[in-house]
Structure 1
Amino acid sequence: MSDNKKGGLKEFFSMNEVAGYFFRSKEKNRTDNVNLKMMHGINKISIVMFLLGIIYLVMKNIF
């Protein structure tokens, strides 16, 4: 299996998009909307809970 082609296994397991979502900088021309902030907060919580659940299931099946 080639890692050079787009959509390869290495790109599938890449965490760059997730890390970029959590640690992105503030944009100057973005409006401060309370609903948008709440939506992003809930999305971040759900991503963390999902990753913790996956880690738990993996650890439970290994040990």
Structure 2
Amino acid sequence: MGILKQFASYLYIKKDKKEPGEKKDIYLKLMHGMNRISILVFLIAMLIVLVRWLIKAI
């Protein structure tokens, strides 16, 4: 269950608490945005592969 909570907080589904003194700069925000996009594209691709596999099995 811990992995799902990490994904949810990373994708902004569940807000994670900020640590005191944490500093975010523009490059860190851009990096997190790119990682978020790559995770979503990967999940969409896995869904497409699963659907194609299910269609072939029928």
| TM-score (normalised: structure 2) | 0.70
- Superposition RMSD in Å: 2.0
Work out the percentage of aligned pairs sharing the same amino acid.
27
Q: In structure 2, what is the Cα distance between the partners aligned to 1:15 and 1:38?
A: 22
- The structure in which a higher percent of residues are helix is 2
Q: Structure 1 residue 34 and structure 2 residue 26: aligned? A: yes
Task: Work out which structure has the larger RCO, using CA pairs closer than 8 Å and 6 or more positions apart in sequence.
Answer: 2
For structure 1, the 5+ residue unaligned runs are 1-10
Matched residue count: 51
**Offset, 1:34:** 0.6
Q: In structure 1, what is the Cα distance between the partners aligned to 2:17 and 2:34?
A: 18
**Offset, 1:26:** 5.7
